Amino acid sequence: MISSNDLRAAHTATWDAAVGHRFVDELWAGTVDDAVMARYLAQDALFLDAFVALLGAAVATVDAPGPRLVHARQLGLVAGDEDDYFARALARLGVPEPAEPLAATTGFLALMDAARASGDYPTIVTVLLVAEWLYLDWASRDADAPSDWLHAEWIELHRGPAFSAWVGFLRDEADRVGPDGAAFARAVELEAAFFDAAYG
């Protein structure tokens, strides 16, 4: 059975392109243009709705009570703290909701909806893993946080001990049940395309 580490290694080029994307550099520097941040967050609001549904599918399909509670707790965080960031960020940027999905978003929604509809926990957990692991990776740079909350909180939501533990859990789960290689590859591609799309 292939491991999550092997899959990440197999997709290093695309993975690193996403983690080292111009958007991430500018986010850390606090220099992301408001129009770029607005386009990105408007698309990510669409992403997050499907992501919440996918977390719900993980809650529903996982084969054991312990992991079910871990997924359920994270679902609560995304529906709480993260949604609160979105409400404040989108209001400040004057983003009218909902946006029309761009191609990368449509691709991601299709991947997440297919995983959810499959009811196949290994596929579901693989898509969750890529989304969260890749975000932990770019958010874990050893650098000073930007001063503006709009940028700093987006980093804070994806780093730190609790978020690292969540990603560690997803890796263990994927390796326990066997990650889906095709879903992994597609998700990494879409992450890179998603950052590209913020620049129009």
Which positions touch ligand HMH (CB under 6 A)?
A: 44, 47-48, 51, 131-132, 135, 191, 194
- 136 vs 139: CA distance, rounded Å: 5
Question: Least distance from C-beta 128 to ligand HMH, angstroms?
Answer: 8
Question: Helix, strand, or coil here: 130?
Answer: helix
Cβ proximity to ligand HMH, 63 vs 199, nearer residue: 199
Tally of CA atoms within 13 A in the half-sphere of 6 that contains its CB: 9
Cβ at position 138, least distance to ligand HMH in Å:
10
Look at residues 1, 9, 7, 24 and name the one whose alpha carbon lies nearest to residue 127.
Answer: 7
Residue 144 Cβ vs ligand HMH, minimum distance, rounded to whole Å:
22
Shorter beta-carbon distance to ligand HMH: residue 43 or 63: 43
CB of 135 to ligand HMH, least distance (A): 4
Nearer to ligand HMH, 57 or 63 (CB): 57
Q: Which is nearer to ligand HMH, 47 or 169 (CB)?
A: 47
Q: What's the CA dihedral at 111, 116, 122, 123 to 10 degrees?
A: -10
Q: How far does CA 185 lie from the centroid of its chain?
A: 14
Cβ at position 88, least distance to ligand HMH in Å? 16
Residue 54 or 177 with smaller CB distance to ligand HMH: 54
Rounded CA separation 107/156 (Å): 26
Q: How far is the CB of 77 from ligand HMH (least distance, A)?
A: 11
Nearer of residues 65 and 161 to ligand HMH, judged by Cβ: 161
Among all chains, which residue has been given the structure tokens 């930007």?
Answer: 146
Task: Give the nearest residue (CB) to ligand HMH.
Answer: 131
Cβ proximity of 70 and 169 under 8 Å: yes
Asked if residue 181 lies in contact with residue 153, where contact means CB atoms within 8 angstroms, the answer is no
